[in-house]
Structure 1
Amino acid sequence: TPTAAPSPTTAATTTATAPAVAYPVGPDTYPPGINPLNGLPVEDPASLQLPPALLSISNSPVTARPQAGLSFAPLIYELFIGAGNSRFLTIFYGDLPKTADNDNPEIGPIRSGRLAYEHIRKLLNGFIVMAYASVWVMPELNYYHNLQTEHPDDINGARLRVADLTALKTKYLAQLGAPNPVGLKFDPAIPAGGKDGHTIWLPYAFVDQIWWHYDKDHGTYHRWQDMENGREYTEQIDSLTGQPLEIENVAVLFVDHIAYRETLIDLNLLYVLKQKTLFFRDGQIFEGYWTTKGEEYEKTTGKLRPIRFLDKDGNPFPLKPGQTWVEIVTQETPVYETEYTEDYYRLANNQQAGSGIWAVRFVHPENMQPNQ
């Protein structure tokens, strides 16, 4: 349960010594060898010349967990896919997953594609890796790879080895050209204007509840997920490392959802002037915006940039160098401080100003119709 979170000392990770970086970096230019999606140095600068890969990674059923490779992705988008489930569109750009004893691990499990993937793909100038898609979705996607599974009877059987991912990146480089995903600003210095934001409770559904708990010793948020029963929670780890997910930034984006059917949902992500965003970093919450509006870059290059983040004054919001997990919710989703409890109904209905425990109570898209 959330109250049984492990001591922060159990989540320690080891990173290689990296050259000093003069922060801030971005949003328009970055020092050589700095990944523009996480603001950190890469081991192999040549990896930044290969296009981003957008992997559709499952979070349901619970047998999909723990997933493999999440801790190596600079950027992860979590979106509601209907039927009470969310799914991860996981961006692999720059250094790819590897462990001390395996430099060619499997990433996954990979699941089907969704309509909104195409918008994010365009923004990143990348390609999608999925395990097929419905007849309503497939025609709307471009630059995708359908992963064949060696275990068709296993819902979690579709996985991709790093060597095969590297080969796909080389293949799509010829079609997409070298990427340039500029637009994000990174700075370890904590911006002014934050409030206590050490905990987030986000229920996409009663059986899809997420907790983010801030670990002050490591400056990261740890993710807990219910076991599809609304009562029992476990901390999510990366099966490649056996370590908890440690996320430097959690961004909650309020986005217009278009529901055609119960599990056929699109997102309005392109050419958006600005929409509300909540940023969680360093145990604090900040208000701001996200934008994909066309500016001089789009006019001169003919390409798009990733979703960009702004503070309340319209200036680039500084993310903490490291991973960013983007939670996408509907515009109607209410946000308030609540009490610390495991009782869903108390969390959903009680407010407690000043607690630093933020409820982001997902409201399902309007006009959702049963699948035909």
Structure 2
Amino acid sequence: MELNNKLEAQQFEIKNFTYDLPENRIAKYPLAERDLSKLLVYHNGEISEDIYRNLDKYIFEKSIFIFNNTKVVQSRLYFNNSTGGKIEVFCLEPSEKNHEPSMAMMKKTCVEWKCLIGRLDRWKEKVISINTKDISLDAEILERDGNVFTIRFSWQPTSFSFAEILEHFGAMPIPPYLKRESEEIDVSRYQTVYAEQQGSVAAPTAGLHFTNQIFEKIKSKNAIVDYVTLHVGAGTFIPVKSETLEGHQMHSEWIEVAQETILNIVAQISDEQTNKNVIAIGTTSLRTIESLYWMGVKANQNMSASIDELEVKQWDAYELQQSLTASDALNCLLAWLKRNKIEKIICKTQLLIVPSYQLKIANALITNFHQPSSTLLLLVAAVVGDDWKVIYDYALKNDFRFLSYGDGSLLFDNKRNKN
């Protein structure tokens, strides 16, 4: 029986997971064509490079690709106070009253949302408003928790959903490290071509490179394409500021996974002929499917558990026993779904993946190049080990573009991949 090591994970020093990222290596805008972005391929310790359009050359027959189909909402709202001063309201996630983002986006009349506020000192009135010829939006602060405010939004006409209100008044929340205001190009390009479930405040950027042409190519190799949803929160941009991970609070995010998707993954990892080729498109997809394993572990321990009790907490992967195989864990989760007559997992995950973590379900990751001192970089190091330094050094020396609009990589977990 393999036991986890919470202490080891907590003592990782973030100073060992940083690098010098020159400002001119950060891609401020996307390329004209999505799939012409450069692709670094890391397999069996070897590095090669190509472009995303040729991704099919590097995948195996009958692989399963897991994409995150979340949709970025135009969550930056700009109000003016009575004297004309600008106030920015950044919508993070629905309050607990409204539950998960996709459903909250469909609400009409009013919603309560957790938000950040820029230029709070200008908010003098009880209610501030935005008005156009046909639509008006009011905002009122209900409570404050540190830097996060719960705001009640209400609007006229009430026939509009909150998603439609944000589309009408909001701006795309491009990452702060781009150091520019959002522009028209961001509305389409800071969004995957398969985005569907509204609720993210940041794009699952590994998917920005994919086009219909790529989908056709990978399907021609008998690959399965499936989708999960993780609504990306603003916490994805927060660097680890403590010296060790023990002092870092991992952000919690909503996930949605259909029972059919879990069945597809089980079929894939149970087929010895495919050698468990489960490719996660982006760190969000990876965290989502890995969270399913730990939910299965919890379901195995208590089939009467509530969905809240199955939620994955920050240190679960380093405290829970992991004697179950991936197939057994997922089958336990499927049994729990059947017992509770539930067709789709909808809950939160706080799963933190660091270098001591052993991937349970995925064995390859497609991802962009991430910020220094970030939990995303730690996740990459969990997949490729210390070779993350070699990979990033190669990318820096060979003109790869970094961060959200930058180039990307296909990284194989060599500990599990035998091809």
**Both proteins in one fold, TM over 0.5:** no
Q: TM-score range by the shorter chain?
A: under 0.3
TM-score by length of 2: 0.22
Structure holding more helix per residue: 2
Structure (1 or 2) with the greater strand fraction: 1
Flag the structure with more relative contact order, 1 or 2, with Cα contacts below 8 A and sequence separation at least 6.
2
Which structure has the greater CA radius of gyration? 2
